[in-house]
């Protein structure tokens, strides 16, 4: 029999301690975010649909993006036992320098449209965390202002080769003069992908208002207040800013770029040279033979060619072929620190996060980016401890199995001749 008694008010009060109310709404929101998905939900509530969908969406049916995220979910870890993990070292060496965490911030375009602090928030947060920050050619903060924001940190520049090549050459020279240590030569954007969410939302620079966009913005006055009371939104590296995303990209990008352009840009750049957008083993091997410093396995977040290869699926094959010859960076699909651990185990030297960064930015500006970095860092550390490895260097393929959801069929063996065009 359980002995019962009259409840003691003092004991009840000891059990019912209420959480102290924080009057700072932003701090309350961000402290309640425990995952990148939580930041995404906050971002969606606080950002007009056109700007949010530009970040959240991808090309056409969005199969590449969905598959890339799913690939990380289809992972099985294999933890060891009885290893001392009282201290875990998450630092890593990448492209001639150190990073306090095994991920950096990926280059993103139109960033100040997501939230007015834009690249300043990203560069500041990256510098504080000791990780690299990447600035896009389509960024909305200048090369020089990013350097001023992150003067002692690692800044990388992502380059599109444009039809007016002198513009690209000028950007390379400015990034070098500002002390950026790595150039990302991007090769997966000869033309713009068909981003249907943007087309349906009428997304453009500057924003084009319609009755639906105005109605969508009414419950988000804070975004409009920030947008209208801060400097004009424009590209920091391009002079033309009018039009849809597709129109801007198609007008600016050069679809004729080839290996000669790669060699020409590489000759101009004094720092580390990385090729972004590699999607086959064969291209990875060719670039390794050319002696580039690194390759970035990426399908552009699923925003270019839909049904493109999933970088995480491609990773172990590329690591097997060229992992000893070139540094391998992976992006696309990362939503959790465990994803980063899995990528490192299967051969990546480093990873980049794009959407996760922008979700944090939209959720709370600089503080939101800080929170995103904190979330991923905590998840990486916890996953490593549960796998029972004490450093990034210890991670290897024995720690991870990629589960198969989509099975590749054997390639057909035949040749077919087609008549030449008249």
Q: Which residues are catalytic?
A: 300
For residue 325, give the H/E element and its range.
none
CA pair distance 31, 364, nearest whole angstrom: 11
Distance CA 52, CA 142 (A): 23
Q: Evaluate the CA torsion angle 198, 314, 399, 324 in order and state its sign.
A: negative
Main-chain dihedrals φ then ψ at residue 11, nearest 5 degrees: -65, -35
Phi, psi (degrees; rounded to nearest 5) at 378:
-60, -40
> Which of these, 360, 284, 293, 361, lies nearest to 115 by C-alpha position?
361
Rg (CA), the chain: 23
The answer to whether the Cα torsion of 191, 195, 334, 117 is positive or negative is positive
d(CA 305, CA 326): 25
User: Do 188 and 298 meet the contact criterion of CB atoms below 8 Å apart?
Assistant: yes
Identify the three-state secondary structure at position 382.
Answer: helix
Lookup: tokens for 358 = 């922008």
DSSP E strand boundaries for 292-396:
294-297, 327-330, 350-353
Q: Alpha helix locations (H) across 229-280?
A: 245-252, 259-268
Please state the φ and ψ torsions of residue 277, each to the nearest 5 degrees: 110, 20
Angle value at C-alpha 242, between 238 and 248, nearest 5 degrees: 65
The answer to whether 146 and 240 have CB atoms below 8 angstroms apart is no
Q: What's the token pair of residue 236?
A: 């920091």
Q: Say how far apart CA 350 and CA 376 lie, in whole Å.
A: 14
Enter the tokens of residue 331. Answer: 């992006």
**Of residues 295, 380, 402, 335, the one with CA closest to residue 102:** 380
* CB contact at 8 A, 104 and 134: yes
Reading the block at residue 377, the tokens are 């860092």
């Amino acid at each position: 029999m359980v002995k019962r008694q009259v409840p003691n008010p003092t004991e009840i009060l000891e059990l019912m301690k209420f959480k102290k109310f924080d009057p700072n709404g932003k701090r309350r929101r961000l402290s309640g975010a425990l995952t990148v998905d939580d930041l995404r939900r906050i971002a969606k509530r606080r950002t007009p649909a056109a700007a949010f969908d530009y970040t959240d969406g991808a090309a056409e049916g969005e199969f590449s993006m969905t598959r890339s995220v799913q690939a990380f979910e289809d992972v099985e870890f294999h933890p060891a036992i009885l290893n001392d993990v009282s201290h875990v070292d998450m630092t890593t060496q990448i492209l001639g320098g150190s990073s306090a965490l095994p991920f950096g911030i990926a280059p993103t375009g139109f960033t100040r449209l997501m939230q007015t602090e834009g690249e300043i928030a990203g560069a500041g947060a990256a510098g504080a965390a000791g990780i690299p920050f990447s600035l896009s050619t389509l960024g909305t903060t200048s090369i020089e202002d990013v350097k001023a924001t992150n003067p002692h940190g690692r800044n990388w520049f992502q380059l599109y080769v444009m039809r007016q090549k002198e513009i690209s050459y000028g950007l390379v020279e400015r990034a070098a003069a500002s002390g950026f240590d790595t150039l990302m030569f991007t090769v997966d954007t000869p033309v713009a992908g068909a981003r249907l969410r943007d087309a349906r939302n009428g997304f453009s620079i500057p924003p084009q208002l319609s009755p639906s966009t105005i109605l969508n913005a009414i419950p988000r006055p804070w975004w409009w207040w920030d947008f209208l009371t801060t400097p004009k939104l424009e590209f920091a590296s391009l002079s033309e800013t009018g039009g849809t995303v597709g129109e801007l990209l198609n007008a600016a990008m050069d679809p004729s770029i080839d290996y000669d352009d790669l060699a020409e840009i590489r000759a101009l750049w004094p720092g580390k040279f990385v090729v972004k957008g590699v999607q086959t083993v064969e291209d990875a091997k060719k670039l390794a033979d050319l002696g580039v410093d690194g390759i970035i396995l990426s399908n552009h977040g699923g925003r270019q060619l839909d049904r493109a290869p999933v970088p995480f699926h491609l990773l172990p094959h590329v690591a097997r072929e060229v992992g000893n010859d070139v540094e391998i960076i992976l992006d696309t699909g990362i939503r959790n620190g465990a994803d980063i651990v899995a990528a490192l185990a299967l051969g990546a030297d480093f990873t980049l996060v794009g959407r996760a960064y922008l979700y944090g930015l939209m959720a709370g500006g600089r503080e939101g980016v800080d929170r995103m970095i904190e979330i991923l860092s905590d998840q990486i550390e916890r996953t490593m401890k549960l796998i029972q490895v004490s450093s990034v260097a210890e991670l290897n393929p024995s720690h991870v199995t990629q589960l198969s959801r989509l099975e590749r069929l054997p390639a057909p063996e035949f040749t077919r001749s087609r008549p030449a065009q008249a």
